[in-house]
Amino acid sequence: MLLKELRVEFRNKQTVNSFIILSVLILAAFRFAFSVVEPPVEDIAGPNLWMSIFFAGMLALSPSWKREVEQGTRDGLRVAPIAPSDVYLGKLLANLVVVFALEAVVVVVVVFLAFFPGTSPDWPALLAVLVLGTVGFVALGNLISAISSNLAQSEVMLPVLLVPLLLFTVVISCVGATARVFSGATVLEVGDELRFLAAFALVYIATGYLSIEYVLEG
């Protein structure tokens, strides 16, 4: 299931390119907007990084389950000799690979080109925040994408449902931890945020795994 999803996601190079272009444009827009008031770079790099990841990531998550409805393959998934939980995990892992690939480009732009040329943050701390924050974001987004695919105008409903749930949880934790890492914090110094992100990711992976059968029947 994972290999099938990966082939589908990466077969359309135009779609993958649009994710990357959107993220870079968001970074550029924020960078030039804040250059007028000239705040400390460490304060704006974290928000810019995560806003780029979240908005471009939602573009990647949106067609994941809607495609099954539009192509009429969702009914096939229901009757196929595959557990719904395996379908969920395949979608989740494929979406993670896509978003991680997007992040690799965004991080290079942020760290080496746009914000911190010639310097580098504490990489273990930054990678820990990126991995745990992304897993939590994709786990929740994958579940909301599956739910919203049953609704009219699902492309609009995904951000409407997802953003409020992310804003006061993953967004605040990721932005705060990343800003501290860019200011010199280590893994131990952002331990509270990392533990919260890990717990958030586990809760929503488990929620999606246990509830996906009912979502597919909706």
How far is residue 102's CA from residue 96's CA, in Å, rounded to a whole number?
Answer: 10
Which of 96, 92, 95, 87 shows the shortest CA–CA distance to 1? 87
pLDDT bin (cut points 50, 70, 90) of residue 76 is low
The more confidently predicted of residues 193 and 158 is 193
The more confidently predicted of residues 169 and 69 is 169
pLDDT bin (cut points 50, 70, 90) of residue 73 is low
- What pTM does this model have? 0.86
pLDDT bin (cut points 50, 70, 90) of residue 201 is very high
Percent of the chain surpassing pLDDT 90: 22
Indicate whether 125 pLDDT > 80. yes
How far is residue 11's CA from residue 104's CA, in Å, rounded to a whole number?
Answer: 19
The more confidently predicted of residues 129 and 3 is 129
The more confidently predicted of residues 113 and 168 is 168
Contact 177, 57 (CB under 8 A): no
The DSSP-derived string for 140-166 is: HHHHHHHHHTTSTTHHHHHHHHHHHHH
Over range 79-92, report the average pLDDT.
79
Over range 23-50, report the average pLDDT.
74
Rounded to 5 degrees, what angle do the CA atoms 83, 198, 195 make? 160
pLDDT bin (cut points 50, 70, 90) of residue 191 is very high
The more confidently predicted of residues 117 and 123 is 123
Q: What is the pLDDT of residue 170?
A: 93
pLDDT averaged over every residue in the chain: 80
